[in-house]
Amino acid sequence: MTSPIGNNVLGSINGGGNANLGPRQSQELRESFMTLLITQLQNQDPLNPMENAEMTSQLAQINTVSGIEQLNETLNGITSQIEAGQTLQASALIGQGVLVPGDRVLLDQDEDGNAFTTPFGVELARPAENVRVTIVNGDGQVINRYDLGPVGAGVDSFSWDGKTSDGETAAPGAYRVRIEATQGDESVSVTALNFAMVGGVIPGANGGVKLDLGAVYGQVGLEDIKQIL
């Protein structure tokens, strides 16, 4: 003997329909199930009564609906806590300098004519015997090229002194940095990183948060922050 409401509950679980049930709908489903189960017990054939195992199975089905609802509420609470923690963590970065994937280097001069540049970084998949840095201008012309020597795996930050290959101070402006890493005769996978300032925190469209790095660099996730300077 099979309960129609038991089949409906099982179909709802297998079809995933219960995932979107609200508290009121879930309560109505439980009440309807219990009403029909009691009616079925009252009108069952005395010569062929419902077996204990069948009744237990049907009760387990409605309990499964309740359990999934409670699990969803718990997961929603955990998600909210994670997002709140991410927002707090991201807020602490406002006004901080960070390294994110990119190849931009800015050069400027102070009142005394001394050049200063924004730092850049490299992220290596494995150690390299030598890392070569090439600075190019907006037209792609090489301004300077120099070696950093051996660099370990992971993220490291460096700076360019603003000098050209002739030892002259380069003109203020934006430049690009190209990174090459080698281990013996083999190339090592390397990612160039550029400096940016965190200006604000923006809620993400699908949860989480985004860091606002300004008009040039746009918005990035916390996972894009490779180093805090």
Q: What's the pLDDT tens digit per position in 94-116?
A: 999 999 999 999 999 888 888 89
- Nearest-5° angle of CA 80, CA 60, CA 33? 90
Cα distance between residue 168 and residue 193, in whole Å: 25
CB 185 within 8 A of CB 169: no
Query: Is the per-residue pLDDT at 39 higher than 80?
Result: no
Query: Is the per-residue pLDDT at 33 higher than 50?
Result: yes
The rounded radius of gyration (Å) of the Cα atoms in the chain is 31
Q: Which two tokens stand for residue 124?
A: 């290596």
Query: What is the structure's pLDDT at 207?
Result: 65
| 111 against 125, higher pLDDT | 125
Query: What is the structure's pLDDT at 6?
Result: 46
Query: What is the structure's pLDDT at 35?
Result: 77
Query: Is the per-residue pLDDT at 21 higher than 60?
Result: no
Across the chain, which distance is largest between two alpha carbons, in Å?
A: 105
CB 99 within 8 A of CB 119: yes
Helix (H) / strand (E) containing 34: helix 23-42
Query: Is the per-residue pLDDT at 191 higher than 80?
Result: yes
Query: Is the per-residue pLDDT at 12 higher than 90?
Result: no
| Distant-in-sequence, close-in-space partners of 187: CB < 8 Å, separation ≥ 6 | 180, 181
Strand partners, 228: 98
What is the arithmetic mean of pLDDT over 87-97? 85
**In terms of pTM, does the model score above 0.85?**
no
Q: Which of 15-29, 43-57, 129-143 has the lowest mean pLDDT?
A: 15-29
CB 127 within 8 A of CB 145: no
Query: What is the structure's pLDDT at 38?
Result: 74
Strand partners, 28: none
Average pLDDT over the chain reads: 81
Q: Give the count of alpha carbons within 13 A of 45, CB side only.
A: 4
